[in-house]
Amino acid sequence: MIDKKKIEKLVNEAITDGFFVVKVSVSTSNKIQVYIDSAEGARIDDCIKVSRHIEGNLDREEEDFELEVSTPGLSEPFLVDEQYIKNIGRNVEVTLNNGEKISGKLLSFNNGNIELEVEKTIKPEGSKKKKKIKEVHNIKLDDIKSTIVVISFK
């Protein structure tokens, strides 16, 4: 089996400033999956560059492998801090460890905490009309099971 640490080293050699590694996995059948990204997003050329660097430093005669280099999909949960930073200003859905789901606008990421602006509709006491209010929730990463971007077609 190909060593995961070796693949991580090769990926880090191939990526340029501004890029970050989201995930590297190697299965027992030598299927290598690499996810890279950057604040501006990664293009196919960036994925090709990383793929060629990895392939050029592995020997298929020694050990055969399957290689996939891409960016994480929109439906994939965040795995690294840089994904939170990249998605500040976007709507996300946070699933807490207790199963509660909170959707809102990601305002900030700081020292292992996120700020999430949640819009709620309430009916003030003595009023006939409902009113929209915004609340800011501070959530520790330790309390988060998963976070994904909410895709909106509005």
pLDDT in tens, 109-130: 998 999 999 999 888 887 788 8
Kindly report, as residue ranges, where domains of CATH 3.30.300 are found in the chain: 4-70
CA distance 89 to 49: 30
CA distance 8 to 10: 5
Q: What pTM was estimated for this model as a whole?
A: 0.86
Describe the strand order of the beta sheet including 66-70 as a list of residue ranges: 19-26, 31-38, 66-70
Of the pLDDT bands very low, low, confident and very high (cuts 50, 70, 90), residue 71 is very high
Kindly report, as residue ranges, where domains of CATH 2.30.30.100 are found in the chain: 81-149
Q: Tell me the CATH architecture of domain 81-149.
A: Roll (2.30)
Q: How high is the mean pLDDT of the chain?
A: 94
Q: Tell me the CATH architecture of domain 4-70.
A: 2-Layer Sandwich (3.30)
pLDDT in tens, 31-57: 999 999 999 989 999 999 999 999 999
- Closest listed residue to residue 93, CA positions, set 30, 41, 154, 137: 137
Q: Among all chains, which residue has been given the structure tokens 């990926």?
A: 11
Q: End-to-end alpha-carbon separation of the chain, Å?
A: 46
| Both structure tokens of 131 | 């009113």
CA distance 116 to 113: 10
Predicted pLDDT at 59: 92
Rounded to 5°, the CA angle 93-139-112 comes to 105
Q: Which residue has the higher pLDDT, 53 or 17?
A: 53
Q: Provide the CB-side half-sphere exposure for 69 (13 A, CA).
A: 25
